[in-house]
Chains A and B, each alone.
Chain A
Amino acid sequence: MPNTPPTRHILGAYEDAITRLNGQLLRMASLAEQNLANALRGLLERDENLCNRAIADDSDTDELEKAIDQLGHEMIVRYSPVGRDLRRIISSMKVCTALERVSDHAVSLARRARELNQRPPLDEVALLKPVYELAAGQLKQSVDAFLRGDLALALHIVQNDDPLDIAHYELIDRLTARIGVDNARARDYVPLLFCTRMLERIGDQAVNIAEDAIYQLTAQDVRHGGDLPPAPAE
């Protein structure tokens, strides 16, 4: 609730605006997740159409990013929010930047996938699936934590991003070793290296979103190794 709503009427309008903001964020998150899923399936199933769809649909997330920023600005001007209300708006604008990056990474992945699909198949492509699952899972959880205001879940994400980091490095090492053995096919393997990197970056953005959730809920800025707030009591 806003800390200083002048009238009940404005309070209602403010709540409407927050609902709209959350709705747009949810839509943007679903689109980014969908683009990522399409890009990855396009890669695993060698499906050009799915890659193209991920690339084409990115413009929807771009438009939502602009819409969310504009709505955030308008809300700050109209309601002069303070405290958690202000944090919520600013954090939403930050989350939308992170989601736009996620969708951008999905586009990069889709472009690399199109290159790969034009060349002979590689067995190692299948190794991206578990890395994708970790990244996509982290993304979905972080968005849930932000929109539901789930502090315990947000803390969990911030404290548990190692599995994706490890999986990403292992795969990079493995692909690099593979190139060492079969360097004539370097042109096929290099795009896979970058696909792996994209997934790791998506996981990083998920952590950013979880950090935004913690900030929104507790006013504590936990980025770059800041102190974590205590987990909520069960």
Chain B
Amino acid sequence: MPESRHILGAFEGAITALMSDVRRMGTLALQNLHNAAEGLLTRDSDLCNRAIADDEEVDLLEKKIDRQGIQIIMRYSPVARDLRRVISSMKASTAIERISDHAISLAKRARKLNERTAIPETDGIRELFDLAASELEDSVAAFCDGNLEAALRLQTRDAALDNAHAAFTQRVIARLEEDATHVNDYVDLLFITRFLERIGDQSVNIAEDAVYLLTAMDIRHGGELPELGQRIA
């Protein structure tokens, strides 16, 4: 536990830097997702390539957050909420890195779709992308701002994306059954919708990390939820 005022200040400074890296990582992942999806929806493969190229910065931040987290633990021996802030940041960064990875997978499939004739079903991705992007944005904000209410809403919100994903998948499979000329396109779309659904899942994980940070309650896998406003040291 930090003892003197001086050490306390240094610890707070280190934690603030860690959190701002998490926030920056979230912003970059969201931008990659945005570029990948717009690259698909506007058939702009340059945007897809930008998403793919920019993923490196997310990777580097993931490593930096882990490195800083370990240093903070060694230097300050934080306990209780201070330790949860460090460990949860490391966990959230793993989830954000996965999300950016899914955005890259999306961009790669989008490039292939862009090389072939446009199919109307692609437009259906817009709804899924909007849901996934807002989950990502809000979960990272809830984590970095310590907003318990927003974090607790994520699980429910993700159900909308799950439903949209299931409906879109059924629609594409039905098209596949009718029309064999665009098999590759439909298969790419099936994978793309799956990536967006996974991004929603990872956003829920980030929100769960936020809840753990704020309340010390591990709500993963259907754990008991805290009361609103419940926060502990």
Q: A residues touching B (Cβ–Cβ < 8 Å)?
A: 59, 62-63, 65-66, 69-70, 72-73, 76-77, 80, 82, 86-87, 90, 93-94, 97, 176, 179-181, 183-184, 186-187, 190, 193-194, 197, 221, 223-224, 226
Question: If the complex has contacts A73-B87, A77-B79, A190-B190, are A183 and B183 also in contact, measured as CB distance less than 8 A?
Answer: yes
Cβ contacts under 8 Å, A76 to chain B: 73, 83
Cβ contacts under 8 Å, A97 to chain B: 91, 94
Q: Is the CB of A224 within 8 A of B63?
A: yes
User: Nearest residue in A to B216 (C-beta to C-beta)?
Assistant: A73
Give the Cβ gap from B80 to chain A, nearest Cβ, in Å: 8
Question: If the complex has contacts A86-B70, A179-B187, are A190 and B59 also in contact, measured as CB distance less than 8 A?
Answer: no
Give the CA-CA distance A183 to B184 in the complex, in Å: 12
User: Nearest residue in A to B94 (C-beta to C-beta)?
Assistant: A97
- Checking B77, B83, B180, B221 against A183 with a beta-carbon cut-off of 8 angstroms, the contacting residue is B180
Give the Cβ gap from B177 to chain A, nearest Cβ, in Å: 5
Cβ contacts under 8 Å, B56 to chain A: 224
Q: Is the CB of B67 within 8 A of A221?
A: yes
- Checking A70, A80, A183 against B176 with a beta-carbon cut-off of 8 angstroms, the contacting residue is A183
Give the CA-CA distance A187 to B175 in the complex, in Å: 10
User: Nearest residue in B to A98 (C-beta to C-beta)?
Assistant: B94
Interface residues on chain B, number (Cβ under 8 Å):
36
Give the CA-CA distance A90 to B184 in the complex, in Å: 42
B135 interface residue, CB < 8 Å from A? no
B90 interface residue, CB < 8 Å from A? yes
Question: If the complex has contacts A77-B83, A223-B59, A223-B62, are A186 and B173 also in contact, measured as CB distance less than 8 A?
Answer: yes
Cβ contacts under 8 Å, A226 to chain B: 63
- Checking B90, B91, B176, B220 against A190 with a beta-carbon cut-off of 8 angstroms, the contacting residue is B176
User: Nearest residue in B to A80 (C-beta to C-beta)?
Assistant: B77
Q: Is the CB of B90 within 8 A of A183?
A: no
Q: Is the CB of B218 within 8 A of A69?
A: yes
A-B contact count (CB 8 A): 80
Q: Is the CB of B173 within 8 A of A87?
A: no
Q: B residues touching A (Cβ–Cβ < 8 Å)?
A: 56, 59-60, 62-63, 66-67, 69-70, 73-74, 77, 79, 83-84, 87, 90-91, 94, 169, 173, 176-180, 183-184, 187, 190-191, 194, 218, 220-221, 223
Give the CA-CA distance A70 to B87 in the complex, in Å: 11
Give the CA-CA distance A76 to B184 in the complex, in Å: 50
Give the CA-CA distance A176 to B180 in the complex, in Å: 11
User: Nearest residue in A to B77 (C-beta to C-beta)?
Assistant: A80
Question: If the complex has contacts A76-B83, A90-B70, A224-B56, are A66 and B183 also in contact, measured as CB distance less than 8 A?
Answer: no
Give the CA-CA distance A77 to B91 in the complex, in Å: 18
Q: Is the CB of A183 within 8 A of B62?
A: no
Q: Is the CB of B194 within 8 A of A194?
A: yes
Give the CA-CA distance A194 to B184 in the complex, in Å: 15
Give the CA-CA distance A226 to B77 in the complex, in Å: 28
Instruction: Pick the 9 closest A-B CB pairs, nearest first.
Output: A186-B176, A62-B221, A224-B59, A183-B180, A180-B183, A80-B77, A186-B177, A82-B74, A77-B79
Give the Cβ gap from A185 to chain B, nearest Cβ, in Å: 8
Max chain A C-beta neighbours (<10 A), residue from B67, B73, B187, B191: B187
Give the CA-CA distance A63 to B218 in the complex, in Å: 11
Cβ contacts under 8 Å, A187 to chain B: 173, 177
Give the Cβ gap from A80 to chain B, nearest Cβ, in Å: 5
Cβ contacts under 8 Å, A62 to chain B: 220-221
Give the Cβ gap from B46 to chain A, nearest Cβ, in Å: 23
Cβ contacts under 8 Å, B94 to chain A: 94, 97
Give the Cβ gap from B193 to chain A, nearest Cβ, in Å: 11
Cβ contacts under 8 Å, A69 to chain B: 218
Cβ contacts under 8 Å, A90 to chain B: 66, 69-70, 73, 90
